[in-house]
Structures are given as C-alpha cells and as structure tokens.
Amino acid sequence: MTGRAKAAVPTTPWVGLSTLPITLLVQSAASAAIIAPSIAAPALLQALGASTVFVGVYIATVYFAAMGSSLVGSALVRRWGPIRTSQAALLTGAAGLFLITVPQPAIAFVGAILLGCGYGPITPASSEMLARTTPTTRLALVFSIKQTGVPLGGVLAGLIVPLVLALHDARWSMAVMAAVSVVSIVLAELLRNALDAHRDPVAPMPAWSRMIAPLRFVIGHPVLRPLALCSFVFSAVQVCLSSYLVTFLHGDLGWTIVAAGAASSIAQTAAVGGRVAWGHLADRWRGGPRWTLFGLASGMTIVSLAMPWLTGDTAHGWVIALLALYGCTAIGWNGVYLGTVARVVPHDQAAMATGGSLFFTYFGVVLGLPSFGLASNGLGHVGPAFALLALPLAWTMVTLVRSRWRVAR
C-alpha cells in the first residue's frame, strides 16, 4: 500500500502540533459523556424507578442514535467545519447528560438519544482534521493515539462520577461531566479559524438523500466496504468484552466483584497501550494496516476460544494475562481501522468515509450486545458465548485476505 508522502500543509506549525491533542481531548470528553450514565446507573435507576434492563436499553439507544448522526456528520463538517461540528456535538451530549437525570423515563430516553446524536459526528469531524494535518506514513499511529480517547474517557468518567456521587448525587455527577464537555468546547475554539477554513457555509444541510450518501459511498467502495463489515464484527466483540467481562469473572469463575472490576480495568489499560502499538506497527510493517487488522482478528479469535476453558481454579495471573491480550486486541483495533479509512480516500472525503463506515461499526454494538446476552442465557454461562465470537471473527479474517486494497493518495 502506497500513498502520498505528506498531508495537506497546516496553516501554521501551531495547528499541526495542536490538532492531535485537541481531537484527543474532544474524543475523551465525548466518550466520558456516554459512559458516565452507566457508571452512575445505580443512582439513576433508583431515581427513575427502573430495573437494570434499562442499562441495556440505554446503550442500545445511544449507539442507535449514533448510527444516524454519524451519517449526518459529514454534511455538518462540510457546512460548519470540523471544529464547529465537534463543538455542537459536545454541547448536544452535555444537554443529554442533564436530561438523563430527570426522574421521568421518557425524558431520560430523550437524553440518551441526545447523547448518541452528540457522539456520532465526533469521529467524522476528527478524521477530517487529522487527515489534513497528518502525513500518510503516520496516519495509523496518529489515529490510534486519538482513539485512546475512548478508554481514557472511560477512565475519566470512572474517576469523576463515583467521587461526585459520594459527595452529592447523580445530577451533580452528570453536571460535572457536562462541564468537561464545555471545557473541551472552549479549548477547541483555539483551532476553529484554521481548521474550519475549508468549510462551505452554503453547503446544504442534511436531507434524507444526503444522509445516506456516506452509506452508499462506503458500500460502493472496494476497500471501505470490507473494512466497514469487519468493524461491525470487531465492535460487537469489543462491546461484549467490555459489558460482560465482570459478569464472566464473577459468575463463571467466582471472582469477587472487586477483583473482577480490577481485571476489567487491566484489560482497558492494555487497550490504551495496544492502540498506540498497533498504530505504530501498521505504519511501519510492510504488510500495513490490512495485515495488522488480520493479526488483531487472529488474536481476538484465539482468546475467545480460550475463554470457556478458564475455571475458578485457573491461576489469576494466567487469567489476567489472557484478558490483557483480549483487551489489547478487541479494544485496540479502532485507530488502525479509522486511520485506514482516512488513508484510502482523498482528504475532502475523509469525513464522509468515516461517517458511513461508523454506521456499520455502531450497528455492531446495537446488534452484538443483545445477541451475546441471548447466547449467554441460552448456554447458561458467559464463557461459551465468548467462544461463539470466533465464528464471525474467522469470517473477518477471510474477508481481509480476499479484499483488494488501493489508496486514493
């Protein structure tokens, strides 16, 4: 795979140096916003008078809304620019945080929709910015660093929400997380004039035909189509691991909740390092992003098949090592994937390609989580359900081998 040697020249060295930190901050704030309600779930559910089923409904609602808003994102980026689009998205998510604390299920449901609508455009906007300011030879690494904002957002929410809950209540915890988004909005303004310079202020606002344009673009692209379908599977594996790991360790292996939570944190931490490492490898390895993604799929498959063999008697060190590998692969693939999406299209199509691809990615979350839950219930344990994930993962490996790759620049 070959491409251009240099990206679009930044307006100033300041812009080139600041784009990655700003996009990382925005990604972290957006991720923290959608994760925060799950962390505050016990308090929020008590106020709503709802059962734990509402948590699953919340996650599905957020990502279903994100599916649609990711398609709208490219049109907004073209009209408003990537910085203004990111700011509007963060503000929408902050409004959703306030609504989700209202003790009325219908209003809280609207809050979840707003959180998803705010989350969807974030990545298309950041892809547009990074594609214009990053050399092709460093795309995978830079996108991987930016994508560490997803687990970092989880760490941020995990530190802030419980602390505020201990001092006040759920409303205050969501208000503080909304303040994080506001701070990100203010700091992003520093780059607005430079990075929004390519916007078209008279570009049409999203209509139905223009909303599905990114989807049509991805489906018709020989590289983006198999990539997007692979991301559908990868995202399903990621959300299943993140959502059911503690349940697996506590229910199947008999670990305490505290120990299971600590192991989950280790898996998430491994994902942060993994994202950066895989991005560096994809840029430097002769096989490039395709074979890096193939290797990640292989790692996920091996660990998925190993999960049912773990028992309460398995040494904790071995379990943690295996989970670190699982987190490193199943939660560490995003940066290589998004960097590849930006690599195979021209700069001005990066937002459209990312938005259309993320439709499939988020659909994997929406469909994968309930499917995994049904499989776990049917099999009686979580471990065998993890092993079933090896089937779609094997399909992604075949798809990556058979697909034909080319780049536009």
- Residue 168 in any domain: the answer is yes
Name the residue with higher pLDDT: 9 or 373: 373
State the amino acid at position 267 in one-letter form: A
Q: How confident is the model at residue 2 (pLDDT cuts 50, 70, 90)?
A: very low
Structure tokens at 129: 């910015």
Q: Tell me if 336 sits within 8 A of 289, measured CB to CB.
A: yes
Q: What is the pLDDT of residue 7?
A: 46
Q: Is the dihedral of CA 235, 238, 239, 244 positive or negative?
A: positive
Mean pLDDT of 251-275: 80
Q: How confident is the model at residue 52 (pLDDT cuts 50, 70, 90)?
A: low
Range of the domain at 351: 13-196+207-402
162-166, 171-175, 245-249, range with greatest mean pLDDT: 171-175
- Residue 2 in any domain: the answer is no
Name the residue with higher pLDDT: 381 or 247: 381
Mean pLDDT of 239-245: 82
Q: Is the pLDDT at 408 greater than 60, yes or no? A: no
Mean pLDDT of 347-354: 77
Kindly report the average pLDDT of the chain as a whole number. 82
84-98, 127-141, 206-220, 395-409, range with greatest mean pLDDT: 84-98
Q: Is the pLDDT at 153 greater than 60, yes or no? A: yes
* Residues whose CB is less than 8 angstroms from the CB of residue 58 and which lie 6 or more positions away in sequence, other chains included: 37, 38, 112
Structure tokens at 407: 């780049």
Overall number of domains in the chain: 1
Q: How confident is the model at residue 3 (pLDDT cuts 50, 70, 90)?
A: very low
CA–CA dist 172, 183 (Å, integer): 16
CA–CA dist 182, 192 (Å, integer): 15
Name the residue with higher pLDDT: 252 or 140: 252
Q: How confident is the model at residue 321 (pLDDT cuts 50, 70, 90)?
A: very high
* Residues whose CB is less than 8 angstroms from the CB of residue 155 and which lie 6 or more positions away in sequence, other chains included: 268
Nearest Cα neighbor of 34 from 63, 73, 70, 57 is 63
Q: What is the pLDDT of residue 322?
A: 93
Which helix or strand (DSSP H or E) is residue 29 part of? Answer: helix 13-39
CA–CA dist 98, 77 (Å, integer): 26
Mean pLDDT of 319-348: 85
Q: C-alpha dihedral over 4, 5, 11, 13, to 10 degrees?
A: 160
- Residue 4 in any domain: the answer is no
Q: What is the pLDDT of residue 4?
A: 42
Q: What is the pLDDT of residues 4-15, one digit of tens each?
A: 444 444 556 666
Instruction: List Cβ<8 Å contacts ≥24 apart for 155-161.
Output: 155/268, 156/28, 156/32, 156/180, 157/31, 157/32, 157/33, 157/35, 157/36, 157/39, 158/35, 158/39, 158/265, 160/32, 160/36, 161/36, 161/39, 161/40
Q: What is the pLDDT of residue 1?
A: 41
pTM for this prediction: 0.76
Q: Is the pLDDT at 185 greater than 50, yes or no? A: yes
- Residue 1 in any domain: the answer is no
Mean pLDDT of 37-46: 76
Q: Tell me if 249 sits within 8 A of 255, measured CB to CB.
A: yes
Task: Give me the count of residues in the chain.
Answer: 409
Q: What is the pLDDT of residue 286?
A: 65
CA–CA dist 204, 211 (Å, integer): 11
Q: Is the pLDDT at 192 greater than 90, yes or no? A: no
Q: What is the pLDDT of residue 332?
A: 85
Q: What is the CATH number of the domain that holds 271?
A: 1.20.1250.20
Mean pLDDT of 209-238: 86
- Residue 277 in any domain: the answer is yes
CA–CA dist 334, 341 (Å, integer): 11
For the ranges 228-232, 285-289, 373-377, the lowest mean pLDDT is seen at 285-289
1-10, 42-51, 185-194, 200-209, range with greatest mean pLDDT: 185-194
Q: What is the pLDDT of residue 18?
A: 78
Q: What is the pLDDT of residue 231?
A: 92
2-6, 28-32, 283-287, range with greatest mean pLDDT: 28-32
Q: What is the pLDDT of residue 11?
A: 56
Counting residues of the chain whose pLDDT is more than 90, the rounded percentage is 23
Structure tokens at 251: 């229910």
Nearest Cα neighbor of 365 from 336, 324, 331, 397 is 331
Mean pLDDT of 80-99: 92
For 131-152, b where at least 16 C-beta lie within 10 A, e where not — what string?
bbbbebebbbbbbbbbbbbbbb
- Residue 352 in any domain: the answer is yes
